[in-house]
Each structure stands twice: as C-alpha cells, then as structure tokens.
Amino acid sequence: MQVPAYVEYEKATSVDHALTLLARFGPEARVLAGGHSLIPMMKLRLAQPETLIDINGLTGLSYIEVTDGELRIGAMTRHAQLLDSAVAGQRFAILHDAERVIADPVVRLWGTVGGSLCQADPSEDLSAAFAALKATMVIQNLTGTRTVHAREFHTGPYETVVAPGELLTEIRIAIVPGGGSAYQKVGRRVGDWPIGAAGAAIWLDNGSDSGTIADAGIGLTAVGAEHFSAAAAEDFLRGAPATQETFARAGQIAAEHCRPVSDQRGPADYKRHLAGELTARALGAALARATGAGPLPPVQRSPGQRSPGSPRPRRGGS
Ligand SMILES: Cc1cc2nc3c(=O)[nH]c(=O)nc-3n(C[C@H](O)[C@H](O)[C@H](O)COP(=O)(O)OP(=O)(O)OC[C@H]3O[C@@H](n4cnc5c(N)ncnc54)[C@H](O)[C@@H]3O)c2cc1C
C-alpha cells in the first residue's frame, strides 16, 4: 500500500486566509484542491509537501459567469460544473467537448479547473482548450492580483508561473462575435488521458457570413507542443479562406512543430499524425459552429495520397 509521508493540514476559510497560510508555511506548503493529482503524487512520494492548505472551503472561487464581455471561471469550479454549465457550453462549446472526455464521473465531480491547470501535466486537456481560446489566468497573492496569458502560464512539464504564496483564482475568456470552437481527442479507452488531442477556435471576418478567417487559436496536448499551442499554424490561418484545404495545411504545420515522444500511449510518429489530423478536424468542427452550418466536405485526395502527417503504411501489413 502506498502511504503519503507525514503532512500538516490546514483548512482555509477564505482566499485571504489561504494566502496568509501559504505565506506562513512557505515554499514547502501546497494547496489541496480536488486532490486527484496531488494525493496520488504524495502516495508515490513524488510530492512531499510539509503542509497541505485545503481550499475546498473557498466556495467563492466556484462560479461560471459572464462579466464585462468575458466568460469567467473560478479556479475551484469542478469539472462536472463546467460540463453542466449552459453558459459555458453556449459561448465556448470546446469546453464541453473537452470536459466530456476528461477522466470519469468520479474525477470530474471533485477535480477542479484550477487544479488541472496548476498540475500542468503535459497531457492535460483543459490547458489545450484554454490555449485555443487564448484565455487569461488570474493569479493572486497577498499584495495583489496579476493576469497571465494562457500561453505564458505553463513554464514546462508540471511547472507554471504560479509562485509559492500564490493562488490561481480565475480563468477569463474574451467573448468575440463570429466565433466557434471544438475539441477532438483520441485516447486508448474512455476516460483515459489523451494519446493526442487538439482544440480549435476560429473567428471569421465580419461575423459568421464571411469565408475569411480573422483569427484562430489552436491548442494541442500530449504531443509535445510548445505552450500547448501551435503559433505557426495560427499565423498561417489568419486571413486565409476557411476551407478544409486550409485546415489540412494548418494541421500539417501544427504537426511539423510538435515534439512528441514515444511512450506507453503510442509511438511519436503516430502522435504527430494525430496532432495534424485532429487539428484539421477541430478547425472544421469549430467553423461549422461559427457559421451554424453542417460539417465541411472532406478534403479530396488522389488515390494513395496520405492524410496530413499520417504515418507511412507498414509493408506486409493486412
Ligand atoms: C483516473 C484519473 C484520470 C484522469 N484523466 C484525465 C484526462 O483524461 N484528462 C485530463 O486533463 N486530466 C485527467 N485527470 C486529471 C484530473 O483532471 C486532475 O487530477 C484534476 O482535475 C486536478 O485537479 P484537482 O482539483 O484534483 O487538483 P489537486 O490534485 O488538488 O492539485 C493539483 C496541483 O495543483 C495545485 N493547485 C490546485 N489548485 C490550485 C490553485 N487554485 N492555485 C494554485 N495551485 C493550485 C496543487 O497544489 C497541486 O500541486 C485524471 C485524473 C485521474 C485521477
């Protein structure tokens, strides 16, 4: 049986109280949100905090609301709450797409949005969704509040810009008209971490009637994408016609910039293939939502032509 090392426990009653406790106990203190990542890591002794500061009592950080033209999500919002939120799903369908395929109902009931982002697992789904939406993270400490772009939030695997003594308190997404978003994930089985996944958000020039892309966001996870995003593919999309050919090329560019590694979930070349294909599919689904149209027809390929980034067929296979 795996047992965590001895740890002090404090229960915070407000954000100020949590920040005061974090300041008092120093860098060896860790915040406990849903505990779905932290507790298993403590059992494996991969994390050995001296003090746990339980923030489950901070119900004031559990909300989803529209304020000043932004969707605002409190850091203690549970996955299940985000999945149930009509306002989140109507504004940004990508969030429901992603939440539907994160873990299982037990994890979703207690795991939090803030905990997922702060855990910064390189295969984490919401980090890719928020990168696609170009979200802003709100971080608080005893002296005030600062905001950080989603793409500057993660500094490496399991690392973020949230410093000792700080809390992630909110995630903000600007609501821009003429947009649509979607998330596509491939896992080994239902509820598993992704082998690869892509999120896309697309905004059209002059609202949904135009066929020209004003801006696009692409989020990728589990495929070694820098900052969970695909900046070169986004540059390519800006000003381009919103067609399946454009999306296929954007997928290729996204795949070329990934650095996937082979592991128990799959070989690197397969993950690269997923990055390209899922990016193209997510863009197509995002466009369909932006315009209210059905899915685009598939890209026409000549016989034997491979889909973007697809691995070469194995010789002698069936
Ligand atoms: C069986 C299983 C399957 C899973 N499958 C998936 C999956 O398919 N996709 C996916 O994306 N995730 C998956 N997860 C991860 C799951 O979504 C996260 O474990 C969980 O949501 C993390 O949130 P938490 O509230 O439990 O964080 P905790 O475990 O409590 O905390 C995680 C880390 O974040 C820090 N932290 C938490 N909140 C804050 C805050 N507000 N400010 C600063 N630091 C904070 C903690 O100190 C800790 O270091 C899975 C987990 C399990 C157990």
φ, ψ dihedrals at 114, nearest 5°:
-65, -40
64 plus 47 within the same structural domain: no
Q: 269: exposed, middle or buried (C-beta count within 10 Å: 0-12, 13-18, 19+)?
A: middle
Range of the domain at 20: 8-54
Decide whether any atom of ligand 1 lies within 6 Å of the 112 Cβ: yes
The residue whose C-alpha atom lies closest to atom 1 belonging to ligand 1 is: 103
Determine whether the shortest distance from the Cβ of 193 to ligand 1 is under 6 A.
yes
Which residue among 62, 102, 124, 158 has the greatest number of ligand 1 atoms within 8 angstroms of its CB, and so is best to mutate?
A: 102
Q: 168 CB less than 6 Å from ligand 1? A: yes
Q: Is the CB of 289 under 6 A from ligand 1?
A: no
Domain annotation covers residue 280: yes
Pocket test for ligand 1, best of 2, 28, 36, 221 (most atoms within 8 A of CB): 36
The helix or strand, by DSSP H or E, that contains position 140, with its residue range, turns out to be strand 136-141
CA angle 85, 90, 94 (to 5 degrees): 85
Cβ of 162 closer than 6 Å to ligand 1, yes or no, is: yes
pLDDT in 10s for each residue of the chain, 318 residues: 688 899 999 999 999 999 999 999 999 999 999 999 999 999 999 999 999 999 999 999 999 999 999 999 999 999 999 999 999 999 999 999 999 999 999 999 999 999 999 999 999 999 999 999 999 999 999 999 999 999 999 999 999 999 999 999 999 999 998 899 999 999 999 889 999 999 999 999 876 566 899 999 999 999 999 999 999 999 999 999 999 999 999 999 999 999 999 999 999 999 999 999 999 999 999 999 999 875 555 555 444 444 444 444 333 333
146 domain-assigned:
yes
CATH at residue 197: 3.30.390.50
The domain total for the chain is 3
Q: Which residues of 20-46 are buried (b: 16+ CB within 10 A; e: fewer)?
A: ebbeebeeebbbbbbbbbbeebbeeee
